Structure 1
Amino acid sequence: MTLQTPLARAQSHLMNGQYKQALKSAKAAMARAPKDARLPNLVGVAMCGLGQQREALAMFQKAMKLDPGFPDPHRNLGQTLILLGQADKALTVLERLCATQPGDEGAQYLVAQALANLGRSEAAEAAAGRAIALAPRQARSYNLRGLMRDQMGQSDAALRDFETALDIDPNNIETLINISLPLARQLRQEEALAVVRKAVALAPGHVGAHLRLATALTETGDRQAAAAEYQRVLKLDPRNAQAIEQLSLLQDPAENAALAPVAQAALKRAPARGADKALLNFALARIADQADDIPRAARHWAEANRDMARQRPYDPEADTALNDRLLGYFPLPPAMAEEEIITPIYVLGLPRSGTTLAEAILAAHPQVAGLGEQIAAGRYFYPLVEAQSPIGATELAQFRSFETQQHPPLPAGSRAFVDKMPENYRLLGFLAAAHPRARIVHLTRDPRDIALSMWRSQFQGGALNYTYDLRAMGHRFNLYARMMQRWHALFPDRIFDLSYEAMTADIDAASRQLADHCGLDWQAQMARPHETGAAVLTMSATQLRQPVHRRSVGKWRAYAEILAPFTETLDPALWPGVSDTGQP
């Protein structure tokens, strides 16, 4: 029997997903031909199919050593390292292959994957572009580049990539999932729901498709359907941390009492110090809080935040330096007062201060488009500040053009748009200078209630790393207070301060004040923001669908002892009257 027979047999088994048979055939052939690089490569692929990725690494390395010019084991080693969370090592292997095989589309695609896993979005986008240039009909590269562009806030470009990928492969599940969120950001909610429903119909067992559908249903206010979708996820994956954590937000106390043992069982099996463990602890804390078991809730929140703080450490020195650089640009000459057809309304403040509610009040007006949390300002100004580049009339004019390009098309008849990115408080001076006629709404709230809300939440991205450590929170709150003092001194007549407490105490009066500040005629529906039909793409989606209430006002008192490291860090000169027990 020739070598070709067991080699062909192993390849046939692999193509049919018969990994045990493939492994047996490839090992038998490798014993007969120990210097044939194809065989350890096949052994490694079969091992990966059986979930033995770590064991496969040695096989791919052996194949590379036997034939350094054979590209397959280089790609397979790189892909396996990415799957094992070793993207840095994968990148070294794959870039070496690209240097010797510049026309290898698969290697370029995997380089893009590795860079994406390392958080290097711009470099990953460029690598995906190189893969596209080499193979313009490969949907996966458009899909990956679309993901990178979406992360960088290039929604239009991301959508074009996803649409191209779907033109090539209309039933690609990952692309259908990925395109849903940027569609929602472009105010195309019906299309966003339709594509992810298609993904679920095509792949009923795809956990990611069900998760994205559940999230989309939450964003559009269909809590019951969202909860049912998360329950379907748990039937497919009983320990899915994301589904358990989101269900704890959507369900009532009785339903969550039944969820508690599911969350406990998942927690026991979750990897130590991982994101899943943190999510499950957040869920269990929420369930305990609903049951008024404060000590148990506090314990789970402490564990969740400790795990998150390890994964996403906060750098107070770097944050202070950034604040200083931002403020160092001011006073800044304002841009020429141009007549703007659409008035910008910036709603800002600390996260969890009520910015989503304020936006919903304003967006209830028929001539106001609520755009949610736009990232155009950060994407434009932060690179200039980091590079210590000058910012003057030219840059401010360029920002206005850039901002318009980043926004979704506004509904016909819009007179104003709302950008409710809370962190824009750091860029308030630039926004005020760029748009002399912009309206600025600053949300305030008892800092202890904000801190408690942050402590109880798990945020996406790295901008809110300070929320996982109480003393770090205090440090950032002090930076915020100093910055707002400066903005009020520079723009005394342009900033409308609206307290969360006042807004929830009298929504009618608050909505009239907002309308007056923003130059709008008050509409009765502005006092009923919970009736909004717009999608809400932040973690406030579940709260906003309820009539305005004051249940969270003063809730910090039950957790005053736990919050002590936070309150002790606050500067009394910036936060007069705030203490462990007193009311500001």
Structure 2
Amino acid sequence: MAQTDLTALYRDGLAHQQAGRVDDALVLYRQILALKPDVPEVLFQLARCLSERDPKAAEAAFRKALKGKPAEPAIWQGLHGILKSGPRAKLEREAARARIPLGTEAELRPALSLLSKGQAAEAEAAALRLMKLAPVAFWPAYVLGQARLAQGKNAVAPLEAALRADPTHAKARLALARALSAAARPLRAEAVLDGITGPEATLIRAKICRDTARPETAVALLRDIDAKGPRPATDLALSLAQTGQGAAALSIVRPMLSHMPRPDLALRNLSAAAEEAGDIAGAEAILDAALDAAATPDLLTHRAQLHQSAGAFDAADTALRAAIDANPTGGEAFRAYMNARKVTADDPILSHLDAALTRADVNAPDRAALHFAAAKAKGDLGQGDEAFDHLHKANRLMAKAFPYGFDSDLAEARALVADWDVLEPLAPDGPADPVIFVTGLPRSGTTLVEGILAAHPRVGAGGEMPFLTRALSEVMERLRHGPSPQEADLAEAGARYVTCARRRVGDAAVIVDKAISTFSRIGHALRALPNARVVLVKRDPRDTGLSLYRNKFPDGLHRYAYNLEAMGHYIRLHDAITDIWQARCPDRVHVVEYEALTAAPEPQIRALLEAVGLPFDPACLAPEGTERRIQTLSFAQARQPIGQGSVAGWERHAEALAPLIAALAQEVDLSPDATP
């Protein structure tokens, strides 16, 4: 047979092998070897195919390949992967003498040492170097995955590679389950954990439950865990807090505080979880306990923000002044203080803010927050140019800390709207609870519209609730990775959502949820909740952009907001995806124009209530009188009567907003084949 024919057979064999058709590949490799028995490349691939089904035959093929290419690391590594005990140790000694990397645990010890010292980035670099030299070995891939996990990076690919090298390695399976959970793959994570018992597996399962809107199941798992110490206790407390049991959560962690490396952070997280579940008293008690132990500036600031949400501005100011006294460069305390008021020239905090900005020892996060605070103060004082100078500095710092990539958002938007092809044929079979999702861009007026609805006696408003994303997480995984979701999957997601939302808002007839992220998943939400309606708030994008640029968001969220050009593209992306959902679900999406609402509130409010199936109630005309917590950046504005003070504010700053205005002129096409 001609050489070209053998090459074609080898190429076909590789194609079969890569597609998982091992038997077909073996036929072709054996056909080649029958004609040319000593081809190292073919022997190597034959050995790889035989590694699991016939290790002895694989070993013979690897050794024969090694005779033909004694300096080829891949052959050494393949042989090393199937040997055990003495023969394996002997090969390691031979490889060391020949300076052939095998990717052994011994070779990874320097990287493991770095990882144990908390130097995860350095460990990642070391493991990656060895993985390039030994791509099919277990240890480089495993350590690389662990290093990435330690940094909060996506570690799925290297850990999957590690398990391909050693499918029985229990710690690698646990690590892969953690990585999959972090990558929003709960179903796959649970499958990886199947059959694994022990405390670590239980902790991972409990986290998956919390991330998929099942905190009650997490509590049940963790109550039975056979492990002691701060981590199991903290996880149980966090799960209890997510079920609205803040007092019980505090009682569990209080005896453990002295053993925790960051008790203040643990308590702050517990407080946030209790607050999220609607247990405000529990959240405040947890923070007060933390403050009794150590009144750190961060805790004082967070306690102040809880006071602001409740409208207790005097108590908030007391806590913020204490935070500033304790940390004169703490940017978040200054920012929270300025956001709560119309700043006047005689405010004594201004001199402290100026002093903080002149210091050279301020870290980047604090400096960004200080510039946002200064921008608010300068704006209130009518010093527009100076305000924008601070805004540009603040936003540059945030953009550097949290880089934004439009292409990933564009790809995600296209995938979300394409999901409708799968979702539309499914009959809605979820809970019948009436839910009103109020959504739109941040700073577009969603808090005002939520306040109008919250004033209605039949409504329970929960603010920006995170439960829809969690409840839909398994549905989203099926949409991205298969198998396709069915009616029962959507019904289960709807039920999980309602359980969590009801815990937060109580037994009101109608749930109102102001989660901004709903805009991209309108179709998904309406399929999971057959009686849900969506209120989409739209505002002049130039005013929205100005307000976005003036505000700092939680770390990692709304990254587009820190660059005016990127913001313009994102706003048009938002318009494109919401236009599609309006067209596909016209009877269940109602649009409120912010400018029209503020110009003539009553007719707009009547139309809004009719669209969501609520009878008119005059209380909705004065939402500022509603006693409720406001947990958004608009906590101060929302307590003012409906007005047009923020309409067309962009006109005074048109020159500074030029990059935004130019980007807004470019439409975004969500067609799958459109260019970015």
TM-score, structure 1 as length reference: 0.72
Equivalents in 1 of 2:358, 2:513: separation in Å?
41
C-alpha contact 1:146 1:157 (8 A) present in aligned 2: no
C-alpha contact 1:353 1:445 (8 A) present in aligned 2: yes
Do the aligned partners of residues 412 and 454 (structure 1) sit closer, same or farther apart at CA in structure 2, a change above 3 Å counting? closer
Equivalents in 2 of 1:419, 1:523: separation in Å?
20
Q: Which residue pairs with 2:230 in the alignment? A: 139
Confirm whether residue 181 of structure 1 aligns to residue 272 of structure 2: yes
Confirm whether residue 326 of structure 1 aligns to residue 420 of structure 2: no
> Residue 224 of structure 1 is aligned with which of 306, 314, 318?
314
Counterpart code for 1:462: G
Q: Which residue pairs with 1:454 in the alignment? A: 548
Q: CA deviation at 1:431?
A: 1.4
Q: Which residue pairs with 1:15 in the alignment? A: none
Confirm whether residue 511 of structure 1 aligns to residue 594 of structure 2: no
Q: Which residue pairs with 1:115 in the alignment? A: 150
Do the aligned partners of residues 488 and 139 (structure 1) sit closer, same or farther apart at CA in structure 2, a change above 3 Å counting? same
Q: CA deviation at 1:463?
A: 3.5
> Residue 439 of structure 1 is aligned with which of 495, 509, 533?
533
Do the aligned partners of residues 549 and 141 (structure 1) sit closer, same or farther apart at CA in structure 2, a change above 3 Å counting? farther
The 5 A counterparts of 1:556-571 are 556-571=650-665
Equivalents in 2 of 1:264, 1:301: separation in Å?
15
Q: Secondary structure at the match of 2:438?
A: strand
Q: CA deviation at 1:513?
A: 2.4
C-alpha contact 2:430 2:491 (8 A) present in aligned 1: no
The 5 A counterparts of 1:162-311 are 162-163=249-250, 165-166=252-253, 168-169=255-256, 174-203=265-294, 205-254=295-344, 257-269=347-359, 274-311=364-401
Confirm whether residue 315 of structure 1 aligns to residue 350 of structure 2: no
Equivalents in 2 of 1:226, 1:274: separation in Å?
25
Counterpart code for 2:464: E
Do the aligned partners of residues 410 and 306 (structure 1) sit closer, same or farther apart at CA in structure 2, a change above 3 Å counting? closer
Counterpart code for 1:226: A
Equivalents in 1 of 2:124, 2:277: separation in Å?
34
Counterpart code for 2:437: Y
Q: Secondary structure at the match of 2:637?
A: helix
Q: Secondary structure at the match of 1:558?
A: helix
Q: Secondary structure at the match of 1:442?
A: strand
Do the aligned partners of residues 173 and 434 (structure 1) sit closer, same or farther apart at CA in structure 2, a change above 3 Å counting? closer
Equivalents in 1 of 2:322, 2:237: separation in Å?
28
For structure 2, list consecutive stretches of 5 or more residues without a partner in the other structure: 1-105, 107-111, 127-145, 156-176, 183-199, 207-221, 670-676
Do the aligned partners of residues 464 and 498 (structure 1) sit closer, same or farther apart at CA in structure 2, a change above 3 Å counting? same
> Residue 398 of structure 1 is aligned with which of 477, 492, 516?
492
Counterpart code for 1:293: Q
Confirm whether residue 155 of structure 1 aligns to residue 242 of structure 2: yes
Please give the per-residue CA displacement for 1:540-573, whole angstroms capped at 9, x wherever unaligned. 2222122223211111111111111111112466
The 5 A counterparts of 1:12-51 are none
Please give the per-residue CA displacement for 1:345-387, whole angstroms capped at 9, x wherever unaligned. 1111111111122112212223221122222333325444443
Equivalents in 2 of 1:501, 1:461: separation in Å?
30
Q: CA deviation at 1:213?
A: 1.2
Q: Secondary structure at the match of 1:396?
A: helix
C-alpha contact 1:375 1:421 (8 A) present in aligned 2: yes
Confirm whether residue 377 of structure 1 aligns to residue 468 of structure 2: yes
Kindly tell me the number of residue pairs found equivalent between the two proteins: 478
Q: CA deviation at 1:479?
A: 1.3
Do the aligned partners of residues 347 and 333 (structure 1) sit closer, same or farther apart at CA in structure 2, a change above 3 Å counting? same
Do the aligned partners of residues 565 and 173 (structure 1) sit closer, same or farther apart at CA in structure 2, a change above 3 Å counting? closer
Equivalents in 2 of 1:528, 1:157: separation in Å?
30
Q: CA RMSD in A?
A: 3.8
Q: Secondary structure at the match of 1:553?
A: coil
Do the aligned partners of residues 392 and 480 (structure 1) sit closer, same or farther apart at CA in structure 2, a change above 3 Å counting? farther
Confirm whether residue 536 of structure 1 aligns to residue 630 of structure 2: yes
Equivalents in 2 of 1:428, 1:249: separation in Å?
31
Q: Which moved more, 1:533-542 or 1:305-314?
A: 533-542
Q: CA deviation at 1:200?
A: 2.4
Q: CA deviation at 1:412?
A: 5.4
Q: Please tell me whether Structure 1 or Structure 2 has the larger radius of gyration of its CA atoms.
A: 2
Please give the per-residue CA displacement for 1:364-421, whole angstroms capped at 9, x wherever unaligned. 2232211222223333254444436524423322321332344352655421111111
Equivalents in 2 of 1:156, 1:571: separation in Å?
46
Equivalents in 2 of 1:255, 1:114: separation in Å?
48
Counterpart code for 2:150: L
Equivalents in 1 of 2:371, 2:426: separation in Å?
49
C-alpha contact 2:276 2:504 (8 A) present in aligned 1: no
Counterpart code for 1:415: A
Counterpart code for 2:405: D
Q: Secondary structure at the match of 1:253?
A: coil
Q: Secondary structure at the match of 1:513?
A: helix
C-alpha contact 2:396 2:563 (8 A) present in aligned 1: yes
Q: Which moved more, 1:384-393 or 1:467-476?
A: 384-393
C-alpha contact 2:434 2:509 (8 A) present in aligned 1: yes
Equivalents in 2 of 1:438, 1:467: separation in Å?
29
Do the aligned partners of residues 337 and 550 (structure 1) sit closer, same or farther apart at CA in structure 2, a change above 3 Å counting? same
Confirm whether residue 368 of structure 1 aligns to residue 452 of structure 2: no
Q: Which residue pairs with 2:187 in the alignment? A: none
For structure 1, list consecutive stretches of 5 or more residues without a partner in the other structure: 1-67, 69-73, 94-110, 576-584
Counterpart code for 2:289: K
Do the aligned partners of residues 173 and 572 (structure 1) sit closer, same or farther apart at CA in structure 2, a change above 3 Å counting? closer
Please give the per-residue CA displacement for 1:42-71, whole angstroms capped at 9, x wherever unaligned. xxxxxxxxxxxxxxxxxxxxxxxxxx9xxx
Counterpart code for 2:494: R
Counterpart code for 2:243: D
